[in-house]
Structure 1
């Protein structure tokens, strides 16, 4: 029987979010209902509210979540009520051209629930990234539920579902950071700090954190940055070169999503170095670079989609790193809040006062 639960909904572009009663259907074939325990407040949720993703309002926000499976639909065989899961916004289909070529992290037909959740009056909701987890319960495709060790507290575990995985994967999956590399990370929010932590774990000899906020730079040191650069204090490219024997970094990770920082990242690479863009831009932004520089500097310019992760492989691995004390997921949790605190949490995030606010249910 369908259930009515409380949830955070963005009804119109740039309007404050509100607590609404929503209807969560019983799971259909290939679906699961999950009782959400915790969900991080990610910048992508703000992008949805601001109209930066699309205009399919009203949105059911929240996507960085952990919880317990309550029920599954017909045909679901590898998931059961009571399983502790982190929700993923990529659930590889196994059938598209990318999956068939052995690249499921680029799946072009990722699964979502077929049924919509709705407002109490029947208005269909667009679930953020196919999840919609600022809610007491949510309906997802069963493939979006990744079972992890239940010893991991949900406030920390849920963050793997988006920001931590995006940053961590940008370094190790997309950027292939390895032993002895030099790395620079532009933007030290949750995603950037996850890239810093991953680079340190991968054995990078130099990890340079770049941001405009000294408070964020101090946080970056906690996650493994060996050097910090305040972007407002001088030429970022020259500062990175000075810290890498005059050459530039082997891998530069752009975790802001702005043309200015992308350009800095491009020129801060060593020759034949790698630039990884994981910061999410808004649709109107453009970049212009001299074509001779694109040719002459060589290397690789990569976009990292969700850290190019395979959730079924990578989520449990990151949880294991957390439980062994090697990945400080707790350090990303700046505060815990209720559903009614999301709008204020957006403001703190925009002001750079938190790495992650986490809704606890």
Structure 2
């Protein structure tokens, strides 16, 4: 996602993650800044960086409710909020932030089959970086372990199953 976002030439690309090794990968793939919300107040940093204005675009890709409220706090008035996650629990927000206070453009997104040709082409060209994304490959016989590790509990980014 960071590699693709870099292709859009943002003025500043900021990646947020709770796992530092993922932040290192984000910097490698083109992020200008990589911050851990458990270590710094990311909303405060965004507001400092933008002189109180807020970020133009916030892409929520964690599936955690706190990331939604975090994004709504740091996005600017008339900004764009992109939801790119699957949630395991309901998420509630103050809708007046979206409508009345900030007049946000809220988009839902998912990885559709129409995205694959672009992704395959750019991985082949080397314009979408993927080095090190698959951090573990397990045989099909260990599918249960693969699914368990895919949650990231041991720091894996992506776990692949080999047939």
TM value normalised by structure 1? 0.42
Which residue does 1:337 correspond to in 2? 138
| 1:246 and 2:52 are equivalent in the alignment | yes
1:246, 1:324 → 2: CA distance?
39
Which residue does 2:90 correspond to in 1? 285
Which residue does 2:158 correspond to in 1? 356
Q: Which moved more, 1:330-339 or 1:218-227?
A: 330-339
1:201, 1:329 → 2: CA distance?
14
- Contact 2:13/2:31, CA 8 A, preserved across alignment: yes
SS of the equivalent of 2:132 reads helix
2:8, 2:59 → 1: CA distance?
15
- Contact 1:207/1:225, CA 8 A, preserved across alignment: yes
- Contact 1:229/1:239, CA 8 A, preserved across alignment: no
Write out per-residue CA displacement over residues 257-284 of structure 1, whole angstroms, 9 at most, x where no aligned residue: 22211011111111110111112112x4
Write out per-residue CA displacement over residues 98-133 of structure 1, whole angstroms, 9 at most, x where no aligned residue: xxxxxxxxxxxxxxxxxxxxxxxxxxxxxxxxxxxx
1:289, 1:211 → 2: CA distance?
24
1:316, 1:360 → 2: CA distance?
22
2:46, 2:94 → 1: CA distance?
20
* Structure number having the greater helix percentage: 2
TM value normalised by structure 2? 0.88
1:299, 1:293 → 2: CA distance?
5
2:75 is matched with which residue: 250, 269, 276? Answer: 269
Which residue does 1:304 correspond to in 2? 109
Which consecutive residues of structure 1, in runs of 5 or more, have no partner in the other structure? 1-193
* Structure number having the greater strand percentage: 1
Write out per-residue CA displacement over residues 194-217 of structure 1, whole angstroms, 9 at most, x where no aligned residue: 2x1111011112110111111111
SS of the equivalent of 1:231 reads coil
* Cα drift, residue 329 of structure 1: 2.7
SS of the equivalent of 2:81 reads strand
Q: 1:324 to 1:245 in 2, by over 3 A?
A: farther
* Cα drift, residue 341 of structure 1: 2.1
- Structure 1's consecutive aligned runs of 4 or more residues displaced over 3 angstroms after TM superposition are 243-246
Which residue does 2:126 correspond to in 1? 325
RCO comparison, higher one (Cα < 8 Å, 6+): 1
- Contact 1:254/1:261, CA 8 A, preserved across alignment: yes
Alignment of structure 1 residues 123-134 onto 2, 5 Å: none
Alignment of structure 1 residues 203-218 onto 2, 5 Å: 203-218=9-24
Tell me how many residue pairs correspond in the alignment. 162
2:10, 2:98 → 1: CA distance?
26
2:16, 2:55 → 1: CA distance?
13
SS of the equivalent of 2:5 reads helix
Q: 1:292 to 1:286 in 2, by over 3 A?
A: closer
Which consecutive residues of structure 2, in runs of 5 or more, have no partner in the other structure? none
- Contact 1:208/1:240, CA 8 A, preserved across alignment: no
1:255 is matched with which residue: 44, 50, 61? Answer: 61
